[in-house]
């Protein structure tokens, strides 16, 4: 075996970007428009989920048949010992802010790598039916969004995808 030193001259590794978060969002925009939805694309989501949720809720349009498409990777200030991840937590934070509205909304956020936090799920999807805001707050205080979605349904399980194009999500108004 030769102990040849790898140098910049004989290094043959090339990295190529074949897809980005923006590619995912562009595909979501195209499909939403084909389905007849007016689309708003959010600036990248990169703040704490509490801030990100507030910003997204402010963007919800008045018109039906519209959607907000977003991507990025928000952060979570972990205070509890529950199960969940930033996508489940973001969906639950949005639900907390809109639970009382009479709008028909579906909220979803997933990690494209198939993993959300300390769970085997990639994210969550839920409709804003009537949920008890105190109960939502209880789950959020312990960072236990996964248990909330196990109880009410809406966990998304894709399995590990072996790729990572950050998180993608939407708020659909129908």
d(CA 138, CA 164): 31
- The DSSP symbol for 112 reads T
Which residues are paired to 39 by β-bridges?
67
**What three-state secondary structure class fits 64?**
coil
Q: If you average pLDDT over residues 110-137, what whole number do you get?
A: 95
- Please say whether the structural domain 36-173 has been given the CATH code 3.40.50.880: no
- Taking only the tens place, the pLDDT of each residue in 35-91 is 999 999 999 999 999 999 999 999 999 999 999 999 999 999 999 999 999 999 999
Per domain, the residue ranges of the chain are: 36-173
- Note the pLDDT tens digit of each residue in 7-47: 667 778 888 999 999 999 999 999 999 999 999 999 999 99
Query: Distances from the Cα of 161 to the Cαs of 4, 26, 46, 111, 133, in angstroms?
Result: 36, 20, 22, 10, 34
Q: What pLDDT was estimated at residue 6?
A: 65
pTM given for the model: 0.91
Q: Where are any strands of DSSP class E within the chain?
A: 38-41, 66-72, 105-111, 123-127, 155-156, 167-173
């Amino acid at each position: 075996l030769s102990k040849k030193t790898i140098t910049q001259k004989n290094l043959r590794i090339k990295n190529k970007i074949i897809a980005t978060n923006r590619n995912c969002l562009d595909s979501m925009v195209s499909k939403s428009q084909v389905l007849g939805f007016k689309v708003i694309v959010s600036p990248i989501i990169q703040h704490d989920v509490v801030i990100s949720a507030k910003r997204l809720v402010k963007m919800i349009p008045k018109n039906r048949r519209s959607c907000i498409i977003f991507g990025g990777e928000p952060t979570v200030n972990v205070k509890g010992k529950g199960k969940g991840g930033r996508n489940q937590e973001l969906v639950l934070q949005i639900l907390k802010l809109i639970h009382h509205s009479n709008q028909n909304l579906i909220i979803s956020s997933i990690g494209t790598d198939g993993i959300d936090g300390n769970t085997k799920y990639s994210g969550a999807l839920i409709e804003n039916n009537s949920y008890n805001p105190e109960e939502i707050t209880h789950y959020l205080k312990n960072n236990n969004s996964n248990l909330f979605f196990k109880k009410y349904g809406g966990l998304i399980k894709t399995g590990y995808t072996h790729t990572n194009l950050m998180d993608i999500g939407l708020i659909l108004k129908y």
